[in-house]
Chain A
Amino acid sequence: MADESLAQTSNTLFNVAFLTYIAAMVAYFFRLAFTRVSADGAIAGTAAGRRIGLAGTALAVAGLAVHLGSVVARGLAAGRVPWANMYEYSSMLALGAVAVGLVVVQRRFGYGHLVGFILAAAVLSMTTGLLLFTEAGPVVPALNSYWIKIHTSAAMGSSSIFIVGFAATALYLVKDTAERRVAARSGAAFAGSTVGAAQTTPVDARPEGYEADAALDDRDVVASPLAQREALSPVLFPLVPGVVVALFTLLVWRAPGGAIVAGSVAALLGTAAWYAVPFLPPAARLDNLAYRTIAFAFPLWTFAIMAGAIWAEEAWGRYWGWDPKETGSFFTWVLYAAYLHARSTHGWRGRRAAWVAVVAFGALMVTYYAVNLWIVGLHSYAGDI
């Protein structure tokens, strides 16, 4: 079983990957800072920005490779799949998020300047992993099933994609607010944000929420992009995420030190988002990215819940028992379904739908952290072997 030296190697690689991601994140944020936006909204990197961006990508890819090594070593050390406790799960989530960020966001969508935010999410996830560190060891028999491997890998995969979806949603809300404010200041030249999707009359008799893309083409950027930053409060941006994350950490972990650290990181991220506003893709595109990632993760999450039910039936003799974990995943699922519906409902498209997605992601975090650490700590976990 647990092979000491392999387990040690895994931990070392984890730390190396962690530090590499931090370095990559810093590089990506620098790249953002070296980006210039011309008056017509076209984004161009300066030469220095491009070089730093390349370095960031190289670091992120290297970090990913090292991280993968850590996970494999962990699996070999424990003699099982490397995702059976919260430490490993947090690590896998980070791995998945970085992979999705590099492959989908950077390569497919070409939004390399957003990867810094995804790396930040990965770093946060790995930090919680460190807080929840568990030695490599075997699992109890109930977890030793084929279905739970399927279940947890699907849950992790979809959660990592939801992380990316959340980053896109949050940035969309920021960008959309900025665009609206700027538009409001520069008069009625520009009717609403680029997610005029929310307002424009749909081309199709049955709108599906895709008009966001169509609206893009006739978009008209009026004011200077930098005005977007000035339209947003530099105080609220660090404050809100800082306080939310700090409170969540305090509630779940009861660790004031950890809450301060996590809150500061979140505040820093908020500031980065504020700073990045002019360089972000137009709100409609961010909205589209958010929708595409969430629509990709949703069936996977659905499948994860089903596989979990099949496993529960095999292990405990009931496929669904409404225990807090099951209830939490169901709650998350319903909210993401509500998001998908909201996108095709009049009066909900655009910002309101995005807020539903934010709440749904909150539900995912509650299901993952609060149910495991706080709710279960409070109530006995009946039926769990």
Chain B
Amino acid sequence: MTETASPPQAPAPAPPRRPRLPVIPGPLETAALAWRRLRRMSTALLLLFALAAASVVATVIPQEPVTARSVADWRSGAAGPGAPVASVLDALSLFDVFGSPWFLALTVLLFVSLTGCLVPRYRAFARTLRRPPPAGRNLSRLSHHEVLATTLPPGAALDAADAVLARRRFRRRRVGAAGEQLAAERGAWREGGSLVFHTAFYLLLLGAVIGKAFGFTGQITLAEGSAFAETRIAYDAAEPGRYWGLDDHRGFVVALDDFDVSYFPNFTPRDFVSTVTVSEQGQQVRTERIRVNHPLRHDGMTLYQLGFGMAPHLIVRAGEQVLLDERVLLTPQEGTPNLWAGTAKVKFDDLRRQLALDLALVPNAALGADGQPVITADPRPTNPVLVGSLYFGELGLQRPVPAAEFDRGDGPVDTAMLRPGATAELAKGSLTVEFADLGYWSGLQVSHAPGRELLLLGGGLVLVGLLPSLYSYRRRVWVQARAADGGAAVTVAGVALHRKAAFDDEFAAIVAALRAALPSATPPTQER
């Protein structure tokens, strides 16, 4: 459509002497030229292809926001095409395609192009809507036409035809000096739907931008019996939007009262549920259950159930002094189902005499022939065994690295195997470790996602607009009546502006409906 808008540019007359040098267009001309280019349908098509190409790249190359670990492996050369290639990919922002400047530029271009397309189409659409259905001429020359005879006088016959076409949602008007023709048109909403649909993309964009700029997402792991305050420092990981400030945190306190997981007989988790109590200013306001697919919404924040894990309660003492008294969060071990592991940093104030425990837990252990616990397929903690390995010395625990990474040096100085409620002595009795009980931790995601309503509205409009833009067709129909012996001769004719193949049947249906609405005059003598 916009295709036709720009006639081929006449080549600017070049200065005769230096034919090589192009005439440099002024900034306004350049802008006008660029605008015309952007408005072309073929430009839109190329932009769509570019968008598709970007997403292929993002499917094949790991993306940092999604699979950070794979990206790290590609960067180090441990996986993927090797470190040198990875550095090139990095330079092109290919590890974060959707956050890259060139993707932003592509989006902007697409929306500029969209605007360029839509503005003239809106004008044309408004014109179409205002313009009444055009009068038909030479109806009997049209490929679809039919003459019916009726006993009704011409005026009444046209009224009846008007009712028939109204039922079929045609816009109608009377034309001719005496109103002897009924001109009707339908299908304008094909274009209208397309406009709604394309316009809805602005809403989607706006919703996404608002969500990104003013939103917040954070993850937290919470052991049973503990609580966190909704503040920035509480989160293990957080992704605040650019305009999400520290003051925007709500400050309410969420306590994990209980966590429960149930399994199917084949040990697939059936459901996991966190029971939490939310308090505000020291007042408990509500107690709710958070399950997968059933988040808790509170004060503009939404809490989702993500993962869970085992959290044994450990008490480590040196004589009477309690060095550690907390639930240690264990994580599942990749590749070994039903093995949970973690690290307890017991003491790290004295750099040379640090203490740490490596922990491994089997929730439902069978005892092997050698007295060692054996992992079973049952994930339920009905017979848990905890193995703790003690490390002592210069462990480097003070470094800001994940707890599991410390200097294990010559290996553990001692090892103990515990069941819930048991206490073991370590390092010749200088330490005792008590496995007080076994609980769970729950992984929650907390997020604030403004713009969701806009996205929903935009999505809805995309669908609402898409349907007529694909399935409604423009048709014009004319009905003309002329007095003929005692009644009227009614001529019906029509043309299809799109999808002509389907019009034969539609026209036949209209004619049939007209025939039913007009008292029949065939054979005319019978009625007399």
Contact = CB atoms under 8 A, between A and B. Distances in A.
Interface string B500-522: 11000000000000000000000
A187 interface: no
A341 B70 contact: no
B269 A366 contact: no
Nearest to B465: A299
Chain A at the B interface: mostly helix, strand, loop or mixed?
helix
A382 B501 CA distance: 50
Q: Which of B4, B59, B307, B445 has the most CB of A within 10 A?
A: B59
B50 to A, nearest CB: 9
B293 A141 contact: yes
A369 interface: no
A322 B65 contact: yes
A213 interface: yes
A1 B266 contact: yes
Contact of B292 (A137, A379, A382, A385): A385
Contacts of A316: 304, 306, 445
Contacts of B1: 206, 344
A367 B269 CA distance: 27
A338 B48 contact: yes
Contacts of A338: 45, 48-49, 52
Contacts of A385: 292, 306-307
B62 interface: yes
A10 interface: no
Contact of A334 (B51, B217, B268, B459): B51
Contacts of A328: 55, 59
Contacts of B217: 317-318
Nearest to B261: A141
Interface string A352-381: 000000000001001100010001001111
A314 B266 contact: no
Given A138-B264, A141-B272, A302 B466 contact: yes
Nearest to B291: A141
Contacts of A123: none
A261 interface: no
A141 B271 contact: yes
Contact of A379 (B45, B67, B455): B67
Interface residues of A, number: 69
Nearest to B264: A138
Contact of B304 (A214, A317, A344): A317
B55 A330 contact: yes
A319 interface: yes
Interface in A308-328: 309-311, 313-324, 327-328
A342 B45 contact: yes
B467 interface: yes
Contacts of A327: 55, 58-59, 63
B3 A319 contact: no
Interface string B288-314: 000111110000001010110000000
Given A144-B292, A288-B501, A137 B56 contact: no
A284 to B, nearest CB: 10
A325 to B, nearest CB: 9
Q: Which of A1, A144, A299 has the most CB of B within 10 A?
A: A299
Interface in B476-498: 497-498
A176 B44 CA distance: 27
Nearest to A353: B45
A68 interface: no
B265 interface: yes
A379 B62 contact: yes
A312 to B, nearest CB: 11
Nearest to A295: B470
Contact of A319 (B42, B66, B452): B452
A372 to B, nearest CB: 12
B3 A321 contact: no
Contact of A345 (B45, B463, B466): B45
A367 B55 CA distance: 11
Contacts of B459: 306, 309
Contact of B52 (A210, A214, A335, A348): A335
B41 interface: yes
Contacts of B269: 140-141
A207 to B, nearest CB: 8
A315 B292 contact: yes
B369 to A, nearest CB: 32
Contacts of B63: 322, 327
B60 interface: yes
B69 interface: yes
A40 interface: no
B23 to A, nearest CB: 28
Contacts of B97: 322
B274 interface: no
A378 B467 CA distance: 39
A137 B268 contact: yes
Contacts of A48: none
A204 B293 contact: no
Interface in B442-480: 445-447, 449, 452, 455-456, 459, 462-463, 466-467, 470-471
Give 10 nearest A-B pairs by CB, closest first.
A213-B501, A331-B55, A317-B304, A141-B292, A379-B70, A338-B48, A317-B445, A145-B293, A379-B67, A345-B41
Interface of A: 1-2, 137-142, 144-145, 204-206, 208, 210, 213-214, 216, 288, 295-296, 298-299, 302-303, 306, 309-311, 313-324, 327-328, 330-331, 334-335, 337-338, 340-342, 344-348, 363, 366-367, 371, 375, 378-383, 385
Given A139-B268, A334-B52, A379-B67, 19 more contacts: A210-B498, A295-B470, A295-B471, A299-B470, A302-B463, A306-B462, A317-B295, A319-B455, A321-B66, A324-B58, A331-B52, A331-B59, A334-B48, A335-B52, A338-B45, A346-B41, A366-B59, A367-B59, A379-B62
23 contacts: A1-B265, A137-B268, A138-B266, A141-B291, A288-B501, A298-B470, A302-B463, A303-B463, A306-B462, A309-B455, A315-B304, A316-B306, A317-B304, A319-B449, A321-B65, A331-B52, A338-B49, A341-B45, A345-B42, A371-B59, A378-B70, A378-B79, A385-B292
